Amino acid sequence: MLDMKMIRENLENIRNMLKYRDVQFDLDLLLELDKKRREMIITTDELRKKKNEMSIKISEAKKAGSDATSIIQEMQSVSAELTKLEGVQQNTELEYTKLALTIPNLLDKSVPQGDSTANKEIRKWGDIPKFDFEVKDHIDISENLNLLELERAAKTAGARFYYLKGDLVKLNQSLIQFGLDFLSENGYTMFQPPYMINRNSMQGAVILDDFEDVIYKIEDQDLYLIGTSEHAMVSMHGNEILDGNSLPTKYAAISPCFRKEAGAHGKDQKGIFRVHQFEKIEQFVFSKPEDSWNQHENMIAITEEFFQKLEIPYRTVLLSSGDMGKISAKTYDVEVWMAGQNAYREVASCSNCLDYQSRRLKIRFRDKTNEDTQYAHTLNSTLVATERTMVAIMENFQTKDGHVNIPNALQKYMGKKTI
RNA sequence: GCGGGGGUCGCCUAGCCUGGUAGGGCGUGGGAUUGCUAAUUCCAUGUUCGCAAGAACACGAGGGUUCGAAUCCCUCUCCCCGCGCCA
């Protein structure tokens, strides 16, 4: 959500933002509803004022023991009128809020304009592995080594599910262990969040379209499966006034992620690259506004360092205005090399959401109790999505005789050097 | 799941029985006063609308009764205590 006052004062910027994001949004309707909403507030406030004044008169009359019948009758009619107007106001408010919740976030000025072809590679690390044999993809590798049950998963759950098996289970746990150790050493506090959260929390974290395309709902309950621990982490401090001295909070969250993947039909159909359920360690930071861009750079640096330790070649991409999520003001993606696909593929995403989520969830801070509160900034970044990372490990570290070498950093967690 | 007790403006708390402008303390900021440290005292300290003056709203959430609800009634929610069930 954006500050309505700011929208009114920066109409040109907002129109440009919508254009650059290539998003259909009825800004004129929003302005109209905002105007109507404010008018309604003024009208109903005046009636309430009248009511309050009469209430005092009634009280005084009763105390004095005189007759208050005529004032009470007058107040009855004012009350009735107010009830009627409040109904109208409530409807206006609902309409306004519904629309206001769908306007995308501002864009940082460093974001390139255009669609995904305008994405900008800003860094590249590592040498692409060369093989003197025919390279296999992770599906063939895991089949040969008996590391996945894909057909049986399709039988028991459907497409885009999997059973990890044997050493792949251990590799997954090793990545998680290593990731948590790594973030702990870098001053992060670990969290394991709820995997289901209520509608209000989810609505603060995501934009409406995501409910349809991404989020699973629990039947007959006000609960939704998180699509990422970000959803549970951002709402954790909802309706709170944080102590400014505690910022930035650096949280490391580990959780499974559940995604519908609606609209991804045909893409990455096989294997464990694009699935309905995967594990992810997330960095989540609440920061002061003046510090958030600095934090954003820190977070992407941490993620890059992690993949360097895993010896996986990657490139870091600054997403263009048309390719970003609507809640983010600026996003870096990390794409790692996947030898089986002969391509860089997305494994991590690092976003600064400014005060967009904080406004929705009322996450504020102040340094001293008599100061005005400010909205905190929220930032999220993948540290590691383990299933995708295992695809990269299997494909990049495969050997001629069909085995997979374990990256140095993971060997002590795996207790072996090769699968 | 059952029974009991709770949720009040950052924190603590009064008010609820008996409906009539939500009070006090702490913390924080500012002013005044007194040789100093300190003490004392006054003002400010939530949200929304408004350029402002000001006004409205706010007692866990949502309904209801009433001219009027923190207060009475209903539903939900979270916390605490006891019992039950349970990995």
What is the extent of the structural domain holding A69?
Answer: 26-100
Same domain, A132 and A82: no
Give the model's pLDDT for residue A204. 86
User: Residues A384, A254: one domain?
Assistant: yes
Could you check: is the Cβ of residue A239 within 7 Å of any atom of nucleic acid strand B?
no
For residue A46, say whether its CB is under 7 Å from any atom of strand B.
yes
pLDDT of A60 reads: 82
DSSP class of residue A312 equals: -
- Name the nucleotide with the smallest C1'–CA separation from A76: B67
- Which CATH number covers residue A212? 3.30.930.10
CA of A371 to C1' of B42 (A): 20
Q: How far is the CA of A74 from the C1' of B83 (A)?
A: 54
ipTM, interface predicted TM-score of the complex: 0.84
Nucleic strand B within 7 A of Cβ A5: yes
**Residues A206, A271 share a domain:** yes
In this structure, are A95 and A133 located in the same domain?
A: no
Please say whether the beta carbons of A295 and A249 come within 8 A. no
How many residues in chain A?
419
Q: Which of A26-40, A204-218, A226-240, A245-259 has the lowest mean pLDDT?
A: A204-218
Average pLDDT taken over every residue of chain A: 90
Counted domains in chain A:
2
pLDDT at A147 (0 to 100)? 94
- Does residue A52 approach strand B to less than 7 Å at its CB? yes
Say whether both A43 and A165 belong to one domain. no
A51-60, A327-336, A343-352: segment of lowest average pLDDT: A51-60
| Residue A369 predicted with pLDDT over 80 | no
pLDDT at position A207? 84
Residue A145 belongs to a domain: yes
> A69-73, A227-231, A404-408: lowest mean pLDDT where?
A69-73
Retrieve residue A66's tokens.
């005189």
* Together in a domain, A44 and A133: no
Q: What are the pLDDT digits (tens) for A64-110?
A: 777 778 888 888 888 888 888 888 888 888 888 888 888 999 999 99
Residue that finishes a domain, picked among A71, A100, A129: A100
Spatial distance between the Cα atoms of A136 and A123, rounded to a whole number of angstroms: 27
pLDDT-based confidence at residue A307 (cuts at 50, 70, 90): very high
Q: Does residue A66 reach within 7 angstroms of strand B, measured from its CB?
A: no
Q: Residue A165 — φ and ψ, nearest 5°?
A: -145, 145
Dump pLDDT digits (tens) for A258-292. Answer: 999 887 777 787 889 999 999 999 999 999 998 99
| The domain boundary residue, chosen from A53, A72, A100 | A100
- Shortest CA to C1' contact from A60: nucleotide: B20
Q: State which nucleotides on strand B lie below 7 Å from a protein beta carbon.
A: 10, 20-21, 27-29, 44-50, 54-57, 67-68
- Whether A60 and A128 share a structural domain: no
Cβ neighbourhood burial of A14 (10 Å; 0-12, 13-18, 19+)? buried
Averaged pLDDT for residues A404-409 = 94
CA–C1' distance A289–B32 (Å)?
37
Asked if A248 and A121 sit in the same domain, the reply is: yes
pLDDT at position A371 is: 79
In-domain check, residue A63: yes
Residue type, A407: P
At CA A67, angle to CA A66 and CA A69, rounded to 5? 155
